[in-house]
Amino acid sequence: METIVFATNNPNKIREVQQLLGSNYQFLSLEEVGCMEELPETSPTLEGNALEKARHLYHHYHHDCFSEDTGLEVEALNGAPGVITARYAGPERDARLNMQKLLRELGPHTNRKARFRTVIALIINGKEYLFEGIVNGSISHELQGEDGFGYDPVFIPEGENRTFAQMSKEEKNAVSHRGRAIAKLQDFLKKQLHHG
């Protein structure tokens, strides 16, 4: 069985990809390969950051691996918060403060279009591959719903009138940026098995 390091220590994320990819691959967390340092993320783009993290892992731990980076891109704010989504309102990465800042900044604008974008960088045998997942939607006028994390209470995916925080985990995963990027990774890995 092939093993691939997933650049996360979040057991839910590992479990999710493990379920999707069945018994063909085993996914290891950062901890499981002894990576305790914070991975570098110094690029101005999601692609750059995802690659930077994956390259660090590949070069220091010599293991096939992938990493992901996600940003919320708001049209009226010229794509902000984008690469600084997690730290929009400050280094404490506080979801509530981030959402408050977003609603404040968007206050005067009528265009509330936004999208979540996830980029996955995979390195296998030294070769680099990128996969992108996007969900289009809009920013609500106030926080709605209790579930989820991050900006879920203010993000309404296209074709819905509920926020991500008002949807079940399954409903969200079926359309989400991360779900779509992981589906592409899954397709790629399946083809690798047949042709690789």
Of 69, 123, 157, 163, the residue at the interface with ligand IMP (CB under 6 A) is 69
Both tokens of residue 152? 């879920």
Does the annotation mark 152 as catalytic?
no
How many alpha carbons fall within 13 Å on the CB side of residue 122?
18
Q: Which amino acid does the sequence have at 116?
A: F
DSSP strand E in the chain: where?
2-6, 25-28, 65-74, 81-82, 113-124, 127-139, 155-157
- Long-range CB pairs of 87-92, under 8 A, 24+ apart, other chains included: none
* Candidate segments 30-38, 54-62, 138-146, 147-155, binder of ligand IMP by CB under 6 A: 147-155
Residue 6 sits in the site that holds ligand IMP (CB under 6 A): no
């589906």: which residue's tokens? Answer: 183
Residue 164 sits in the site that holds ligand IMP (CB under 6 A): yes
Residue 86 sits in the site that holds ligand IMP (CB under 6 A): yes
Residue 156 sits in the site that holds ligand IMP (CB under 6 A): no
Residue 151 sits in the site that holds ligand IMP (CB under 6 A): yes
For ligand IMP, give the closer residue by CB, 52 or 69: 69
Q: List contacts with ligand IMP (CB under 6 A).
A: 69-70, 85-86, 148-152, 164, 176, 178
Active site residues: 69
